[in-house]
Amino acid sequence: MSIDYQVMWNRLIAVVEEQATTLIRTAFSTSVREAGDLSAGLFDLKGRMMAQAVTGTPGHVNAMAESVGHFIEAIGRQNMFQGDVYLTNDPWLGTGHLHDITVVTPVFRHERHVGYFACTAHVVDIGGRGFGPDGTEVYEEGLQLPIMKFAERGQVSADLVRIIRANVRQPDQVVGDIHSLAACNDAGDRRLQAMMAEFGLADLEGLSAFIMERSRGATLKAIAAVPDGVYDNVMQVDGFEAPVRMQVRLSVDGEQIVADFDGTSGTSRFGVNVPMVYTRAYACYGLKCAIAPDVPNNFGSLEPFRITAPEGCILNAVRPAPVSIRHVLGHLVPDVVLGALHQALPGVVPAEGASALWNIQISARPTDPASNLPSTELLMFNSGGTGARPALDGLSATAFPSGVKTMSVEATEHVGPIVVWRKDLRTGSGGAGTFRGGLGQTIEIEARDGYDFYFNAMFDRIDNPARGREGGRPGARGVVGFADGTELNGKGRQKVGAGRRLVLLLPGGGGYGDPKARPREAVEADLDGGYVTEEQARTDYGYGS
């Protein structure tokens, strides 16, 4: 039977991947259909994630892995019916901030409840202040949707839809995305029903037990191969009103591994705080990437990793702390845990990278209110460079650890009145090393005639660039400003007047190893490709001396 279960397990991956593809094809928001900022998965009756789609982000996937249990508790199995659809954007019960809507659909087989499909997507607007860090309470950050029924027995709640439409700036887009999430789960259900019919399955209990047992066992074996010990790492990042200290102690004892963030800075007044569910999601992801990368991601493979943080620290913010841009510090969590793991497993983990996405939320407004030109909300996803690896250069303009794709300029300009005049790799931004850090980007944005715009800055690695490893140099720091050289704040709402260009210089990843040990032909190739400047080649790599 184990061979049959293995075949079914592989088939489940295809099922949830089709689930995610349906969401991408039907989504209204560019953040979903262009960037893939989503997650999709199948859960058993206990709310344990059996399989996740490859398409999606670790923050969504691993946080969603916890959220289905909250849905079961809040709704109650006895109140679940065929045709139901549930939702929430609760940051502490979902995936960390109000802009992510998680939708759960119960699965029935011959009128018997057998499991759940769940998915999550980022919506461009949820009301409030908009997607940015300026709020001082979660209540300012947008409409809160507790765990509730979007549809019961196939009937959508018209009252809920009216409430949502009355509280957001882009009602058609937001409501459309919720319907896309429901359709995504429905597509997964249809494919699962066909699979269960093919294999003669009445329920998912046996298959789930097989998946959990095999995944947990393989993960425990991988953890046991890590040398026992206690490993500490500290990393300072920009924060908002003050720098943030991120500290972790990694304790390995046999098959047990604990990452404890005691010593991390306290909660911020502004929306850079991170709910524990999101910290846990990215800490597990960083550890699993390095320790057990080949084990499929599910409840069984995640359960052995224990993540703790003091309640009230910036990585375990409690309600009603503002958490709108929790991704900024959350995306930096893997750098912290990997820095500690490097002491146990030298030659395995990369140098620090830009890591946090350089998302920019743009509110385009007509300069003449009487012009009848429409106002528009846009969201761009942009990435800096990753850290160099122990045997390879870092990746340029690549979203690690989030894994989202960069939106095309054409798709962004199509949905709003802006022009992206420049978007290319930032020469010289990768940290020097035997292996060079990945490059950031240079991006220039201007409003079209008749418009100016506000933007919500949510950027890091400006005052604290990515550090190199084993003698590698840091990557270039990020810069936000106007084309005339005026620097702006890395976080918060700011205005770009008509005719002015906003310039973003995205940070690069740190280098790995002594730069002087980089092969001469690799430096020459970097010069030819425009990855490094001639001055860098001379001063950092000793080229030509």
Residue-level pLDDT at 405: 85
Strand segments (E) across 254-383: 256-260, 305-308, 360-366, 376-380
Measure the CA angle with vertex 480, ends 479 and 482; round to 5°: 120
Residue of 365, 337, 367 whose CA lies nearest to 352 = 337
**Burial (CB count <10 Å: 0-12, 13-18, 19+), residue 198:** exposed
Query: Rg of the chain's alpha carbons, rounded to an integer?
Result: 23
pLDDT tens digit sequence for 19-50: 999 999 999 888 888 888 889 999 999 999 99
The pLDDT tens digits for 286-335 are: 999 999 999 999 999 999 999 999 999 999 999 999 999 999 999 999 99
pLDDT greater than 80 at residue 390: yes
What average pLDDT does this structure show over 399-424? Answer: 91
75 SS3 class: helix
How far apart, in whole angstroms, are the C-alpha atoms of residue 262 and residue 276?
13
CA dist 156 → 28, 71, 429, 509 (Å): 19, 18, 50, 47
186 Cβ partners below 8 Å, 6+ apart?
Answer: 105
Q: Parallel, antiparallel, or unpaired for β 112-122 and 38-43?
A: antiparallel
Does 12 or 372 have the greater pLDDT score? Answer: 12
Nearest by Cα to 64 from 250, 302, 226, 346: 302
Closest CA to 350 of 280, 434, 426, 428: 434
pLDDT at 1 exceeding the cut of 70: no
Q: Which distant-in-sequence residues (6+ apart) come within 8 Å of 159 by Cβ?
A: none
Half-sphere exposure of 50 (CA within 13 A, CB side): 31
In the predicted model, what is the mean pLDDT of the chain? 95
> Percentage of the chain surpassing pLDDT 70?
100
Q: For the chain, give the percent of residues with pLDDT over 90.
A: 90
Q: Is the peptide bond before 320 cis (omega within 30 degrees of 0)?
A: yes
Residue-wise pLDDT tens digits, 117-171: 999 999 989 999 999 999 999 999 999 999 999 999 999 999 999 999 999 999 9
- Does residue 109 have a pLDDT over 80? yes
Cis ω before 322 (30° cut-off from 0): no
Q: What distance in Å separates the CA atoms of residue 51 and residue 15, rounded to the nearest whole number?
A: 9
Rounded CA separation 337/129 (Å): 32
Q: Return the ∠ at Cα 214 (arms to 210 and 219), rounded to 5°.
A: 150
| Residue that is written with structure tokens 């089709």 in the block | 18
Q: pLDDT band for position 84 (50/70/90)?
A: very high
Task: Round to the nearest angstrom and report the end-to-end CA distance of the chain.
Answer: 66
List pLDDT tens digits, range 515-535: 999 999 999 999 999 999 999
**Domain ranges across the chain:** 2-216, 350-545
Beta bridge partners of 86: 104, 149
Q: What is the pLDDT of residues 235-284, one digit of tens each?
A: 999 999 999 999 999 999 999 999 999 999 999 999 999 999 999 999 99
**Rounded mean pLDDT, 81-87:** 98
Q: Among the listed ranges 206-220, 402-416, 436-450, 496-510, which one has the minimum average pLDDT value?
A: 402-416
Q: Report the alpha-carbon distance of residue 364 to residue 455 in Å, rounded.
A: 8
Around Cβ 236, how many Cβ atoms within 10 Å? 14
Of 216-220, 363-367, 512-516, the least confident: 363-367
Q: Whose CA is closest to 390, among 476, 337, 501, 468?
A: 468
Task: Give backbone dihedrals phi and psi of 86, rounded to 5 degrees, phi first.
Answer: -115, 155
Q: Which tokens sit at 472?
A: 């590698």
d(CA 534, CA 398): 24
Average pLDDT, integer, range 368-385: 90
536: alpha, beta or left? (left if phi > 0; alpha if psi -120 to 50)? alpha
Give the CA count within 13 Å in the CB-facing half-sphere of 212: 15
In this predicted structure, what is the pLDDT of residue 545?
60
